[in-house]
Amino acid sequence: MAEGKGARPLELLKSTPVRQAVGVVSLMAVISVTTTAIAFLRVRDGLEETIQTSLDQSAASFSTARTAAELRDQVSAEARVADAEQRIIVLLSADGRSVGNAGARLDAGMPVIFAQPEDEQLSEHGYEFRVIADDRGTLILGETRESVNEVSRVFIAQAAFSLVPTLLLSLAAALVIAARSARRVVGIEGTLERLTAGDLKARVAEDPARTDDLARIAGGLDRMAAAQEASVAALKQVSADIAHDLKTPVQRIAVLMAELRNQTGEGSPEAALAERALAEADRAVAVFQSLLQIAQIEGGGPRGRFRPVDLSAVVATFADIYGPAVEDSGHSLAVDLPSGRPVHVRGDKDLLGQVVANLIENALRHTPNGSTIRLTLRQEGTSVVLSVADNGPGIPEAERALVLRRLYRRETSRTTEGNGLGLALVAAIADLHEARLQLSDNAPGLVVSLAFSTVAALPV
C-alpha cells in the first residue's frame, strides 16, 4: 500500500491502532504491577507478623523471671547463644549496667544498638524492637529485618529483570503490529484525501492476499473510486461528443446568419437582428471549442508536446500583448519577473500562454476601471509560482472551488461577457502540467496562483 509507506512517525503515534496497542500494554502493565505489589505486600505482612510473633514468644519466655537477678541471669544465658546479627537481647538495669549480646541505650524511648564488643557483627538490615520496662529493668528484644528486606530485594529484582523487560517487549511487539495496521489506515486516509481533491486515479491497492477488515474497506474504496472515475470519464466523453457534434451545425448557422446580414439593407432592423444572432452563434462556437479543448487536455494528448519552456519569457510576451488593451480599458498592469535569468518549466508553450491570457482577461472582465492587475513570477524552493492578482471585488471562499467548474458563472457575473470556461480551462491546463492551482484573497481582490516544478534548461 504505497500511501502508507510515507507515513511519518508522529502520524503513526496519533493513529487509533497504535493508541489501542499502547492502551492495552498500559493496562497489562497496571495489572502486572498491581498484582505484583499485592503479592509483595502480602508476603511482607506475613514476614512482619512472623517477626512480631517471635518477639512475643521471646517476651513471654522472659516473663517467668520474677526478680531482677533472675532476669539478668536468664538474659546472660540466652545472649551467649544468640547471634547478634539475627537477634538482640539486652537488659538495662536501673543502676545503668547492661547485659546482653550488644550494647544499647534509649534515645527518646527508642533503643539505639551498637556492637559490644566492637568486633561483634550486627545486622545491616536493621531490627524490629520490643521494649519491656518494669521494676526488674528495661528489656530490649530485637529481631532482624533481613527476611523483609530480602523479599523487597527479590521483588525489585523481579520487576527490573522480568516485569519491565516483558512489558517493554510486549509494547515493542504491539507497536510493530499496530504500526502496520496504522500505515494501512494512513494509506486509506491518503487515498480518500486524493479522491476528495479530485484525483480519481487514486487507489489504495491493498495486497489481494489480505482478507481482514482493512483489506475489505480498501477494496470497497478502490471499487468506488473506479466506478466514480468511469462515471466522470463517461460524462466528460458525452460532453466532448455533444460539443463535437454540435460545433459544425452551429458554425453553419453562423455562416448562414452572416449571409443573411449581408443580404439585408445596412441599418435595417433585419440586419441588426441578424448581427445579434451571428454574435450569439459565435459565442456558441467559442463554448464548443473551449469544451473540446478541455476534453483534449484532460485526455493528456498535449503531454507529448512537452518541452522545457521559459515561463518568464511567456509571461513577458503576453504582458506586452495585453498592455495596450489594459490601458484602453482604464486598468493598469504591473509585471514582476526574475531579472536577467530564464525560469524553465516542462510543458506546452502555447497552453502556458493561454493560461496567462485567460487570467489577464478574467481580471479585466471582472474588475472595475482603475483596478491594478499584477503579474508575478517568483521562485519558491524547487517550484516557480505564477500569480495574477487584482484589487477588484474578489471571489468568496465558498465559491472558489465552484468557479473552476465548466460553465459555472457567479450571479454577479451574469451581466459580463464570458462563458464560464476561462478558469475551468486554466484548471485543466494546470492539472495537465501537475501544477498546484490556488485561489486566494488579495484583500481586496483575487489572487490566482499556479506553482510549477522547475527544471534545468535543456536544448529544445
Q: Are 423 and 358 in contact (CB under 8 A)?
A: yes
Percentage of the chain beyond pLDDT 90 is 11
What is the distance between the alpha carbons of residues 122 and 361, in angstroms, rounded to a whole number? 101
Listed in sequence order, the residues at least 6 apart from 169 whose beta carbon sits closer than 8 Å to its beta carbon are: none
Mean pLDDT, residues 388-415: 73
User: Which three cell numbers mark 343?
Assistant: 525560469
Residue type, 109: G
Q: Is 430 exposed, middle or buried (0-12, 13-18, 19+ CB in 10 A)?
A: buried
pLDDT, tens digit, 9 for 90 and up, residues 328-358: 888 888 988 887 778 888 988 988 988 898 8
User: Which three cell numbers mark 417?
Assistant: 461577457
Instruction: Flag whether pLDDT at 102 surpasses 80.
Output: yes
Choose the weakest-confidence range: 217-231, 403-417, 422-436: 403-417
Amino acid 131: pLDDT: 92
Amino acid 239: pLDDT: 61
Residue 459's pLDDT band, with cuts at 50, 70 and 90, is very low
Amino acid 305: pLDDT: 82
Closest alpha carbon to 87 in 45, 107, 59: 59
Mean pLDDT, residues 222-251: 70
Mean pLDDT, residues 178-189: 79
Instruction: Flag whether pLDDT at 178 surpasses 70.
Output: yes
What is the distance between the alpha carbons of residues 209 and 177, in angstroms, rounded to a whole number? 18
Q: Which of 42 and 288 is assigned the larger pLDDT?
A: 42
Range ranked top by mean pLDDT from 48-57, 225-234, 301-310:
48-57
Q: Which of 212 and 354 is assigned the larger pLDDT?
A: 354
Choose the weakest-confidence range: 19-23, 334-338, 357-361: 19-23
What residue segments make up the domains of the chain, in order of their start? 1-196, 213-298, 305-453
Closest alpha carbon to 149 in 43, 32, 55: 43
Amino acid 3: pLDDT: 42
Question: Does domain 213-298 bear CATH number 1.10.287.130?
Answer: yes
Amino acid 5: pLDDT: 44
Amino acid 416: pLDDT: 53
390: left (phi over 0), alpha (psi -120 to 50) or beta: beta
Mean pLDDT, residues 187-211: 80
Instruction: Flag whether pLDDT at 264 surpasses 70.
Output: yes
Percentage of the chain beyond pLDDT 70 is 84
Instruction: Flag whether pLDDT at 163 surpasses 70.
Output: yes
Residue 223's pLDDT band, with cuts at 50, 70 and 90, is confident
What is the distance between the alpha carbons of residues 381 and 453, in angstroms, rounded to a whole number? 9
- The per-residue b/e assignment along 36-71, b for 16 or more CB within 10 angstroms, e otherwise, is eeeebeebbeebeeebeeebeebeeebeebeebeeb
What is the distance between the alpha carbons of residues 448 and 432, in angstroms, rounded to a whole number? 17
Residue type, 398: A
Amino acid 4: pLDDT: 43
User: Which three cell numbers mark 207?
Assistant: 495486497
pLDDT, tens digit, 9 for 90 and up, residues 37-66: 898 899 999 999 999 999 999 889 888 888
What is the distance between the alpha carbons of residues 184 and 18, in angstroms, rounded to a whole number? 12
Choose the weakest-confidence range: 69-83, 148-162, 232-246, 354-368: 232-246
Amino acid 141: pLDDT: 92
Average pLDDT across the chain, whole number: 80
CA 40 vs. chain centroid, Å, equals 43
Q: Which option is the CATH number for 305-453: 1.10.357.10, 3.40.605.10, 3.40.50.720, 3.30.565.10? A: 3.30.565.10
Residue type, 392: G
Choose the weakest-confidence range: 171-180, 306-315, 332-341, 412-421: 412-421
